[in-house]
Amino acid sequence: MKNLFVDKKFDNKKLSVFLLSVFPKLSINTVFKTLRKKDIKINNVRINKDVTIHTGDNILLYISDNLLEPSFNLNIVFEDKNILVIDKPNNIEVTGEYSLTYEVHKIYSGALFKPMPCHRLDRNTTGLVLFAKNESALNILLDKFKNHEIEKHYLALVYGIPSVKANKLIAYLFKDSKKSLVYISDFPKTGYSQIVTSYSVIASYEDNSSLLDVQIETGKTHQIRAHLAHIGFPIIGDGKYGNFEVNKLFGAKTQKLHSCVLKFNFSSESGFLDYLNGAEFKSFCTFS
- Give the C-alpha distances (Å, rounded to integers) separating 229 from 18, 72, 80, 161, 252: 26, 32, 38, 13, 16
- pLDDT, tens digit, 9 for 90 and up, residues 78-131: 999 999 999 999 988 999 877 899 889 989 999 999 999 999 999 899 999 999
Which CATH fold topology does 2-65 show? 3.10.290
Share of the chain above pLDDT 90, in %: 80
SS3 content of the chain, % helix, strand, coil (to 5): 25, 35, 45
Burial class (CB within 10 angstroms; exposed 0-12, middle 13-18, buried 19+) of 105: middle
pLDDT at 4: 92
CATH 3.30.2350.10-classified regions of the chain: 154-259
Question: Is pLDDT above 80 for 27?
Answer: no
Every domain of the chain with CATH number 3.10.290.10 lies at 2-65
Query: Among 1, 234, 242, 276, which residue's Cα sits nearest to residue 118?
Result: 276
Write the class of the CATH domain 154-259: alpha beta
Q: 158 with 234: CB under 8 angstroms?
A: yes
Q: Does the global pTM surpass 0.85?
A: no
Encoded amino acid at 211, one letter: L
Buried b vs exposed e over 199-232: b needs ≥16 C-beta within 10 Å?
A: bebeebeeeebbbbbbbbeeebebbbbbbbbbbe
- Bridge partners of residue 185, in order along the sequence: 172
Q: What pLDDT, on the 0 to 100 scale, is given for residue 274?
A: 97
Confidence of residue 174 (pLDDT cuts 50, 70, 90): very high
Q: Which of 87, 122, 186, 207 is catalytic?
A: 122
State yes or no: is 7 an active-site residue: no
